[in-house]
Amino acid sequence: MRDASPAKAYALHIAVVALLFVLNFVLPDYHQGLFARIMALAVFAMGYNLLFGYVGLLSLGHAMFFSAGLYGAGLTVYHLGWGVPEAFVAGVACGALLALVIGLLALRTSGVAFMIGTMMFAQVFYLLILYFAAWTGGDQGLVIQQASRVVTVGGDALDLTDPTVRYMSALALFAVVLLITLALVRSRFGRVLVAIRENEERTKMLGYDTGANKLAAVVASGAVCAASGAAYALLFGYVGSSFASVQYSILPLLWVLLGGAATTLGPLIGTLFMYYVTDITSGFTSAYLLIVGVALILLVLFFPKGVLGSIRQRWLGWLP
Amino acid sequence: MHFGPHLLLAALEGLVTSAVLALTALGLSLVFGVMRIVNVAHGEFFMLGAVLAWAISTAISGHPAIGFVAALVIAPLLVGLVAFLAEWLVLRRLNYNPESTIVATIGMLYIIQQLALTFYGPEARPVEPPFSYRILLPWFGYSGYKLSVVAASAILLVITWLVLTRTRIGLIMRATQYDRETAQAFGIPVERVYAGVFAVGAMLAAIAAVLIVPISQAHYLMGQDPLLLSFIVVIIGGLGSLRGTVVAAVLIGLSDGIVSMFFSPTLAKIIATLVVAMVLVFRPQGLFGTAPR
């Protein structure tokens, strides 16, 4: 994995961010909105990839971290009247805390038990949202008014409902998380995580505390997913229980598998592709779940490494 | 109604739930036990059984019992065929890797669900019970059909147990479960065993669905609850243990019937799911299972 071209990797990622920046001024209105959504959700996929791609832990419950951020930010704005930055921090903190608790419990298991266990915890979280419908709005959800989604920066009021502000905010979050991920996976911590994925027993024998490293990875993954959820609530002004359902635990798995697990840019590619496939086909048919199903089976049968994973294997070995 | 009869009614309802649940969970448990894979699409095979039962019983005119019996025979066979094809086309090619098969069966779940929505529609439709005899108890009358569901399920469970423990087919299945490679070395056609077990597991779910459909209606989303409950049963009972599965099904079915009659169903579900997650975390071999070799 260690290679002589860190500059090449950073240049590629900065070029991707720059391209997304330029797209804001080029894209038609509809696609500008879609891209903002995709970038916010790609952060969710990147958070999922941290755990699934690099540590090899397949969770079927990441919707709870996303919705912890979503509700952590949404409810503090809605009920407590908090400002946007405080609400965002509250969302991320909720996700990190939940990830800590779930990590302590679920990491006692591995493999299939870990998958089912995380799915059950997410189901409990989902049902709790429905049970406390008086505060969360249940399956109807809550709409966050435009007036409470304005940030004041140095005297200027930034309205998050404005398309360009929204796009740039999503891009900023995406860029920060992308570069953090890149730095993280190239760091000592990232290499230990990959070592755990490849052979946990051997890593333990080499003297690494695999339990603590895995827990740190769960918390990091949960915090990133919560950041995505918090941003989603604040940028698009809606929180609802459907974001906590099993489907939203499966989607990041699909996006990461499609783009390529354990690649830094794979989650973006997977999210972008799936979103546009869904968007285009929903013009002809309402059966978008059918496409998700067929995509999952074809991917796992023929492209278990995903788009970027296959490219890295064939041509670009330096791709992070 | 006084507390006693009320409790009796709740227990009877719970027993019907248990009977159907035991069959469904047995299918899941069999597939997990022998093939070591988790079939997330199991609930959809259940739903498919119910939807096909509706289609078959409405296609056949005459006395409702004729349509029902036809559904009870044909629907599980069709579901078994679908499962066989899924195993043959997808799972076998994945070499039964536990994590890939979960992703693939999630894909199947979405495909079957969406096809049911497209061809069957979003409505819930009833199937007429084969007979409508009411048993009169001193406090209330109770549907004789519901009690016959319990009996039918008990008979099927006994048959499955006999097949597993007393026949050559059962011996071959247990040998495959115990050690796949050694079984293959002794000339057991492991792939055919796997295909058969996957189909039989799906058929058990389909039979359970046909039995329940005269009581609750056929709907394209009806597979979700049985899937979750079957997971719960299989985990509590110990993955791959037949006796544990049946005991856990009765336990869960009864407590579900009784708890949801006296408390909010959502709260009951929250507590049940949390308890099961904790069992999985702290006692992964299940309450009745033994530690894995």
Task: From chain B, pick out residues whose CB is under 8 angstroms from the CB of A105.
Answer: 277-278, 281
Decide if B99 and A293 are in contact by the 8 Å CB cutoff: no
The answer to whether the CB of B286 falls within 8 A of the CB of B235 is: yes
Dihedrals φ, ψ of B264, to 5°? -65, 130
The reply to whether B259 falls in a domain is no
The reply to whether B144 falls in a domain is yes
Decide if B38 and A116 are in contact by the 8 Å CB cutoff: yes
Question: A121 CB near a chain B CB, below 8 Å?
Answer: yes
The reply to whether B247 falls in a domain is no
Number of domains in chain B: 1
How does B200-228 read in b/e, with b if 16+ C-beta sit within 10 Å?
A: bbbbbbbbbbbbbbbbbebbbebbeebbb
Under-70 pLDDT residues of chain A: 1-5, 154-155, 283-286
* B23/B217 Cα distance (integer angstroms): 18
pLDDT means per 10 residues in chain B (293 residues)?
A: 79 89 92 86 95 92 87 95 94 85 89 92 87 81 88 93 89 86 88 92 96 91 87 78 85 79 79 84 71 47
Q: Which domain holds residue B50?
A: 20-224
The reply to whether B97 falls in a domain is yes
* A89/B83 Cα distance (integer angstroms): 47
Q: How far is CA B94 from the centre of its chain?
A: 24
A120 to chain B, minimum CA–CA distance in Å?
6
Extract the tokens encoding B44.
Answer: 């959809």
The reply to whether B139 falls in a domain is yes
The reply to whether B283 falls in a domain is no
CA dihedral A269, A274, A277, A281 (to 10 degrees): -170
The reply to whether B290 falls in a domain is no
Strand partners, B134: B143
Question: B102 CB near a chain A CB, below 8 Å?
Answer: yes
Could you tell me which of B18, B61, B32, B74 has the C-alpha nearest to residue B206? B74
- Kind of pairing, strands A142-143 and A238-239? antiparallel
CA dihedral B196, B198, B201, B206 (to 10 degrees): -100
The predicted pLDDT at position A286 comes to 66
The predicted pLDDT at position B1 comes to 63
For residue B125, the SS3 value is: strand
What is the maximal distance between C-alpha atoms in chain B? 64
The predicted pLDDT at position A195 comes to 93
pLDDT tens, residue by residue, A20-31: 999 989 889 889
The reply to whether B2 falls in a domain is no
Decide if B111 and A297 are in contact by the 8 Å CB cutoff: yes
Question: A297 CB near a chain B CB, below 8 Å?
Answer: yes
Task: From chain A, pick out residues whose CB is under 8 angstroms from the CB of B276.
Answer: 120
Helix (H) or strand (E) holding B30: helix B3-35
The answer to whether the CB of A221 falls within 8 A of the CB of A252 is: no
Task: From chain A, pick out residues whose CB is under 8 angstroms from the CB of B118.
Answer: 287, 290
